[in-house]
RNA sequence: UCCUCAGUAGCUCAGACGGUUAGAGCGGCGGACUGUUAAUCCGUAGGUCGCAGGUUCGAUCCCUGCCUGGGGAGCCA
């Protein structure tokens, strides 16, 4: 007999037939004569109720069917006499795959705090909340590939190990095979990397963007979707040391095309989740974040506000607010400023453009005013900056001048500069932090709870 | 990294001017119950009071340091 997944079984509609299901026991209740087992196999947030007439089963077996145990149930699918569910399985035989000693199994029927569940990350996927988050995370990852594939973008695999700190996106994790107990030194005392695996210092990537640009300037429109690593000592509900980032890069896109793509992309993903994960989103809306569905609907049904950094500063200065951080032109916007614009003034996602060049990266296209660059940040309620992007500087002289002005390692960037030397083209791109986006879609308050195994300062367990 | 709060039973928390046997709810275990929905009812076991020093006749409680976690900030996605 073929095992059926609970999701398919519940969707099938028919009753009065033999079925075989396998899964993990969520709860068992009942009396001396009858037992009710809520069984979940991860295919859906919904459990199937298994009803067992106790007299027909081995006493020891029934005793060992406890919360967390894994069982296979063969029985008859039937309409339920109880009110909590439409159908249930009248068990005819039960096989116990794995016991879960109730005295030591850490998951209870009652709710647990997110902090506690983080300590048992190997078991937390068995909870309703994490099951829902993991299914939604999967659906969003799939939708990302589908969106870009359908638009003719190519998935470009940029390197995880890199040898330059050109992007300057943050502190990096060093990659080495040198024996840290006795590091080879040169005569001047500095580390001799010639014996290291790559013969020079290497690190884990902080961004695939620069390599992404190489792809865009050859095959037109590409995207990356991979892990990135930042060794920043950031301890916040919005930062991870290891996170996933999506970075599309497009030839012949100007900043407006870039913004259009970003907005359309984000709305597509939310719509995809609403259409394909409604059970999980309903659960999260009820148990985790009260107005979740309302927020998601709002984002897909409203145009993002677009304005320049300069206009935004004007709004902040006209607000009459007392800010902890000053708001003069040329200063970067702080969390309190972004929050005011998004959550109070507009109450809508906002795209800010044309930031002062001094606070932005070297590769952004310089405007004719000599002061600003064609940058864009997409700001979301609750999580702040979710997308950062720009039109890239395609002019060789201007790009080189900026690199020199900032004292960046020109030698390490020779390959990047050559794209502007040989057949340069206007192009744009952006980066979307995947976990921050999953946070927004699921309503989870802490980014550590939207990735199966979070990596944060002082924590690399599991 | 800075500011701030916290760490007591498996979980969530209460507690004491510094003073003999540290409490509750839930969970577990035992029992009752012919259909339950985080079942209900009765009973019961369970604690190095985060770690290391210090003050004291005596510290889980006061002081110092450290560790871990939450929130806020910075850095950013």
* Least confident interval from A152-166, A283-297, A421-435: A152-166
- Taking the CA of residue A458 and the C1' sugar atom of nucleotide B67, their distance in angstroms comes to 11
| Distant-in-sequence, close-in-space partners of A256: CB < 8 Å, separation ≥ 6 | none
| Distant-in-sequence, close-in-space partners of A52: CB < 8 Å, separation ≥ 6 | A34, A35, A36, A37, A62, A91, A94
- Taking the CA of residue A64 and the C1' sugar atom of nucleotide B71, their distance in angstroms comes to 42
> Nearest nt (C1') to A109 (CA)?
B38
* Least confident interval from A17-26, A78-87, A92-101, A444-453: A78-87
Residue nearest to nucleotide B31 (CA to C1'): A32
If you ran DSSP here, which 8-state letter would residue A223 be given? Answer: E
List, as one string, the DSSP characters of A8-47: HHHHH---SEEEEEEEEEEEEEE-SSEEEEEEE-SSSSPP
- Taking the CA of residue A296 and the C1' sugar atom of nucleotide B13, their distance in angstroms comes to 35
- Taking the CA of residue A457 and the C1' sugar atom of nucleotide B2, their distance in angstroms comes to 16
Q: Report pLDDT for A12.
A: 87
Is residue A110 over pLDDT 80? no
Confidence at A124, pLDDT banded by 50, 70, 90: very high
Residue nearest to nucleotide B68 (CA to C1'): A458
- Taking the CA of residue A54 and the C1' sugar atom of nucleotide B32, their distance in angstroms comes to 16
Q: Report pLDDT for A95.
A: 95
- Taking the CA of residue A226 and the C1' sugar atom of nucleotide B5, their distance in angstroms comes to 36
Q: What does the alpha-carbon distance between residue A106 and residue A113 come to, in Å, rounded to a whole number?
A: 12
> Nearest nt (C1') to A435 (CA)?
B77
As given in the structure block, the two tokens for residue A142 are: 């799939």
The ipTM is: 0.92
Our CA angle for A172, A173, A174, nearest 5°, is 110
| Distant-in-sequence, close-in-space partners of A232: CB < 8 Å, separation ≥ 6 | A170, A171, A239, A241
Confidence at A436, pLDDT banded by 50, 70, 90: very high
> Nearest nt (C1') to A29 (CA)?
B36
* Nearest Cα to Cα of residue A159 among A232, A218, A223, A226: A226
Average pLDDT over residues A325-343: 92
> Nearest nt (C1') to A33 (CA)?
B34
Confidence at A32, pLDDT banded by 50, 70, 90: confident
* Nearest Cα to Cα of residue A194 among A170, A177, A214: A177
As given in the structure block, the two tokens for residue A110 are: 């009652």
Is residue A81 over pLDDT 90? no
CB A450, CB A443: distance < 8 Å: no
Average pLDDT over residues A269-296: 95
Strand B, nucleotides < 7 Å from a protein CB: these are 1-2, 10-13, 26-30, 32-39, 67-77
If you ran DSSP here, which 8-state letter would residue A131 be given? Answer: H
Is residue A170 over pLDDT 80? no
Mean pLDDT of chain A: 94
- Taking the CA of residue A457 and the C1' sugar atom of nucleotide B63, their distance in angstroms comes to 30
* CB-CB neighbours of A87 under 10 Å: 18
| Distant-in-sequence, close-in-space partners of A85: CB < 8 Å, separation ≥ 6 | A48, A49
Inter-helix orientation angle A414-421/A396-405, to 10°: 150
> Nearest nt (C1') to A66 (CA)?
B28
> Nearest nt (C1') to A85 (CA)?
B37
Confidence at A166, pLDDT banded by 50, 70, 90: low
Residues in chain A: 462
As given in the structure block, the two tokens for residue A189 are: 């005392």
Confidence at A15, pLDDT banded by 50, 70, 90: confident
Q: Diameter of chain A by CA atoms?
A: 85
> Nearest nt (C1') to A433 (CA)?
B77
Residue nearest to nucleotide B34 (CA to C1'): A33
Beta bridge partners of A226: A245
CB A34, CB A88: distance < 8 Å: no
Q: What does the alpha-carbon distance between residue A358 and residue A331 come to, in Å, rounded to a whole number?
A: 9
Is residue A168 over pLDDT 90? no
Intra-chain end-to-end CA distance of chain A, in Å: 36
Is residue A167 over pLDDT 70? no
CB A353, CB A376: distance < 8 Å: yes
Helix, strand and coil in chain A, % to nearest 5: 35, 25, 40
- Taking the CA of residue A29 and the C1' sugar atom of nucleotide B9, their distance in angstroms comes to 25
> Nearest nt (C1') to A81 (CA)?
B35
Confidence at A181, pLDDT banded by 50, 70, 90: confident
Beta bridge partners of A301: none
Q: What does the alpha-carbon distance between residue A74 and residue A328 come to, in Å, rounded to a whole number?
A: 70
Is residue A132 over pLDDT 70? yes
Q: What does the alpha-carbon distance between residue A300 and residue A295 come to, in Å, rounded to a whole number?
A: 9
- Taking the CA of residue A3 and the C1' sugar atom of nucleotide B72, their distance in angstroms comes to 50
Q: Report pLDDT for A320.
A: 86
* CB-CB neighbours of A23 under 10 Å: 24
- Taking the CA of residue A239 and the C1' sugar atom of nucleotide B36, their distance in angstroms comes to 44
């Amino acid at each position: 007999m073929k095992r059926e997944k609970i999701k398919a079984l519940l969707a099938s509609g028919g009753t009065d037939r033999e079925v075989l299901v396998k899964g993990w026991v969520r709860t068992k209740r009942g009396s001396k004569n009858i037992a009710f087992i809520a069984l979940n196999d991860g295919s859906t947030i919904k459990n199937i109720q298994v009803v067992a007439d106790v007299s027909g089963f081995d006493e020891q077996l029934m005793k060992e069917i406890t919360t967390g145990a894994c069982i296979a149930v063969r029985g008859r699918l039937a309409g339920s006499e109880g009110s909590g569910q439409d159908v249930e399985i009248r068990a005819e035989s039960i096989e116990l795959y794995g016991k879960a000693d109730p005295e030591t199994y850490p998951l209870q029927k009652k709710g647990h705090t997110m902090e506690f569940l983080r300590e048992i990350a190997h078991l937390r996927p068995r909870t309703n909340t994490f099951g829902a988050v993991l299914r939604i995370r999967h659906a969003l990852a799939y939708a990302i590939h589908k969106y870009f594939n359908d638009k003719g973008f190519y998935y470009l695999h940029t390197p995880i190990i890199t040898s330059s700190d050109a992007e300057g996106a943050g502190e990096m994790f060093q990659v080495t095979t040198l024996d840290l107990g006795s590091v080879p030194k040169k005569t001047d005392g500095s580390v001799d990397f010639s014996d290291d695996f790559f013969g020079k210092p290497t690190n884990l990537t902080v961004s695939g963007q620069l390599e992404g640009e190489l792809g865009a300037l050859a095959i037109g429109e590409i995207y990356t979707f991979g892990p990135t690593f930042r060794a920043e000592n950031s301890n916040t509900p919005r930062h991870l040391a290891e996170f996933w980032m999506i970075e599309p890069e497009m030839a012949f896109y100007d900043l407006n095309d870039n913004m259009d793509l970003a907005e359309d992309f984000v709305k597509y993903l939310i719509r995809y989740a609403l259409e394909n994960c409604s059970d999980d989103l309903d659960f999260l809306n009820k148990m985790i974040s009260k107005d979740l569905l309302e927020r998601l609907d709002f984002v897909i049904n409203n145009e993002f506000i677009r304005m320049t950094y300069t206009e935004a500063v004007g709004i902040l200065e006209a607000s009459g607010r007392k800010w902890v951080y000053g708001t003069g032109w040329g200063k970067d916007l702080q969390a309190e400023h972004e929050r005011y614009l998004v959550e109070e003034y507009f109450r809508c996602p906002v795209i800010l453009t044309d930031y002062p060049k001094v606070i932005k990266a070297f590769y952004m296209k310089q405007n004719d005013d000599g002061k600003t660059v064609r940058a864009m940040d997409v700001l979301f309620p609750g999580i702040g900056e979710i997308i950062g992007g720009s039109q890239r500087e395609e002019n060789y002289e201007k790009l080189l001048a900026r690199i020199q002005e900032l004292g960046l390692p020109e030698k390490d960037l020779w390959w990047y500069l050559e794209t502007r030397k040989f057949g340069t083209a206007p192009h744009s791109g952006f980066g979307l932090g995947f976990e921050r986006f999953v946070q927004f879609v699921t309503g989870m308050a802490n980014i550590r709870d939207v990735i199966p195994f979070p990596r944060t300062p002082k924590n690399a367990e599991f």
